[in-house]
Amino acid sequence: MADFASDNTAPVHPKVLQALIDANSGNVPAYGNDPLTEKLQETVRMVFGVSEARAFPVFNGSACNGLALARMIRPYESILCHRQAHINNDECGLPEFFTGGKIVGLEGNHAKLTVASIGDLIETTLGHAPHTSRPKVISLTQSTELGTVYSLEELKALTGFARTHGLYVHMDGARLANAVASLGCTPAEVVAGVDILSFGGTKNGAMLAEAAIILNPSLIEDFAYVHKRGGQLPSKARYVSAQLQALLENGLWLDLGRHANRQAQALRAGLIDRAGVGLLHPVEANELFVTLPKVMADRLFAKGHRFYNWPAEGSDAYRLVTSFATSDDDVNTFLADC
């Protein structure tokens, strides 16, 4: 039976686990003042090509987004995101909680924002000050909640718009590896113009490790307080940093992202021509959104395969997610049972 329920049902990648074992020696200062967290800073700066970047290791992706956004807005400001963004739908109000502000969900094909939709909103809103929360951040999910990927051109348009309108850009990179692998670009290219990146490890082979990577150095100040007050400052930080280091070192994160993407393409290829199967969105990362005949879905569930019905995309819609741990056998068994 294959598990396509999510990329967080997978185990930890052996190299990440080994890094934890290696880290487990002696006493080191707590709260991030340890050599591994220090080393992580160097790695992050090199990988993303930003010499003053600073990574704050955290436990959890929703919280990572919340901290990043809390640093960027005052409570009377708002965050613009796609209506289907994780921060708008899947974090139980955490972003409103952590920021005190408002999340504004906008429309856009395939879960992607466009400059056009944002532009109108900004103008109308500012003309209504102070009655409407002031837009301050554009939050982009890369890859998106629907398994698509912003092109570098699309990103450039959005970050350019942000810069000229005094907005910050947040990137929810819970699945950034899949996006970078898909684009075939450098990490630096994908975060050009981004102020804070929520860098995801947990969905990509880590045990529990994310990082708020501050790319705009002016936002580093006071982030330590936001980090602590949000309950996301690890006392034994070395064990979070070690995981991130293992992923970023030698490009492991991108290898894992490429693998997951490849398996998603294999699923896509195997499904696309079947009768009654429809593809709801382009498969550009490690997620497929498909319509399946009910009989096929029922058969797959009966065989023990795991994946979700996805009512937000229609009653006969389903989501399949691949991961670093998805084997050829998983794909083949699943397709054989279709």
What part of residues 53-92 is at the interface with its own copies (CB under 8 A)? 59-63, 66, 70, 74-78, 89-92
Question: CA torsion sign, 62 to 215 to 54 to 245?
Answer: positive
Closer to its own copies by Cβ: residue 159 or 243: 243
Torsion of CA 268, 262, 210, 159, to 10 degrees: -80
Compute φ and ψ for 134, nearest 5 degrees: -80, 125
DSSP state, residue 133: P
Whole-angstrom Cα distance, residue 110 to residue 169?
A: 20
Closer to its own copies by Cβ: residue 3 or 284: 3
In the complex, what is the shortest distance from the CB of residue 125 to its own copies, in angstroms, rounded to a whole number? 9
Whole-angstrom Cα distance, residue 277 to residue 13?
A: 33
Q: Which stretch binds its own copies (CB under 8 A): 157-165, 181-189, 217-225, 265-273?
A: 217-225
Compute φ and ψ for 279, nearest 5 degrees: -100, 125
In the complex, what is the shortest distance from the CB of residue 67 to its own copies, in angstroms, rounded to a whole number? 8
Closer to its own copies by Cβ: residue 30 or 272: 30
Residue found under tokens 């002696």:
26
In the complex, what is the shortest distance from the CB of residue 275 to its own copies, in angstroms, rounded to a whole number? 28
Give the residue from 11, 8, 15 showing the smallest Cα distance to 244. 15
Residues 15-34 that bind its own copies (CB under 8 A): 17, 20-21, 24-30
In the complex, what is the shortest distance from the CB of residue 273 to its own copies, in angstroms, rounded to a whole number? 28
Q: Which stretch binds its own copies (CB under 8 A): 106-114, 183-191, 199-207, 287-295?
A: 199-207
220 near its own copies, judged by CB under 8 A = no
Whole-angstrom Cα distance, residue 48 to residue 215?
A: 9
Please name the amino acid found at residue 127.
G
Residues 222-241 that bind its own copies (CB under 8 A): 222, 224-236, 239-240
Is residue 324 within 8 Å of 9, Cβ to Cβ?
no
Binding mask 113-152 for its own copies (x = CB under 8 A): ----------xx--xxxxxxxx------------------
Is residue 165 within 8 Å of 97, Cβ to Cβ?
no
Q: How many residues bind its own copies (CB under 8 A)?
A: 77
Closer to its own copies by Cβ: residue 147 or 205: 205
Closer to its own copies by Cβ: residue 122 or 296: 122
The enclosing H or E element of 199 equals strand 196-200
Torsion of CA 283, 83, 278, 326, to 10 degrees: 40
Residues 238-267 that bind its own copies (CB under 8 A): 239-240
Distances (CA, A) of 211 to 22, 173, 227: 20, 10, 11
Closer to its own copies by Cβ: residue 8 or 186: 8
Distances (CA, A) of 271 to 64, 334, 337: 35, 10, 11
DSSP state, residue 3: B
Closer to its own copies by Cβ: residue 272 or 312: 312
In the complex, what is the shortest distance from the CB of residue 282 to its own copies, in angstroms, rounded to a whole number? 24
Residue found under tokens 């991030």:
32
In the complex, what is the shortest distance from the CB of residue 208 to its own copies, in angstroms, rounded to a whole number? 6
Closer to its own copies by Cβ: residue 65 or 159: 65
Binding mask 269-308 for its own copies (x = CB under 8 A): -------------------------------------x--
Residues 97-116 that bind its own copies (CB under 8 A): 97-98, 100-103
